[in-house]
Structure 1
Amino acid sequence: MWLYLFKRSLNPKNNILKVTNKMLPNKNMDLEKIFIPFNRGENFSRIDGNGLGLTLVKKIFLLLNIKYEVYIKNETFNFIVYLK
């Protein structure tokens, strides 16, 4: 379940883009599933979309050989992109 409080930051020194989003506690969150096409979380009825966004992002990153990292820490979803 997501809250609509997110931050983004760019560290030009290290070429890192970081997007974070505060979450409500969700023990069922499976990070492996977020890249599966049409997979929606428990909050799908309250958020527009079709479940393709992160699938496309992952494919683009793989094609362009862009490294990224996804993890949850302290109820915050973190998506880090290592830019070249």
Structure 2
Amino acid sequence: MGVVRSALHAPLKELVELDLLETRLAHVSGGGARRRNVYHLTAAGWNYLASLPAEENPAGAAAKRGLLSGNAAPL
């Protein structure tokens, strides 16, 4: 993708502020002992994704067809 990790903080923070993502600290595979921020789509995030035209975002079409699914892990 060609994006450095440090460039992701601002856009992810904005998506959290828009209530499209939620975040929690969790231990992740290969992350060592340190807990990392894990991001999950909120219901509003799933709705926004499903509302995007397929030509703008193929994942939006997949969400409409029910091909993308999942629930955030309990906090």
TM over 0.5: no
Query: If each structure's strand is expressed as a fraction of its own residues, which one has the higher value?
Result: 1
Query: If each structure's helix is expressed as a fraction of its own residues, which one has the higher value?
Result: 2
| Structure having greater relative contact order (Cα 8 Å, sep ≥ 6) | 1
TM-score calculated relative to the size of structure 1: 0.28
TM-score calculated relative to the size of structure 2: 0.30
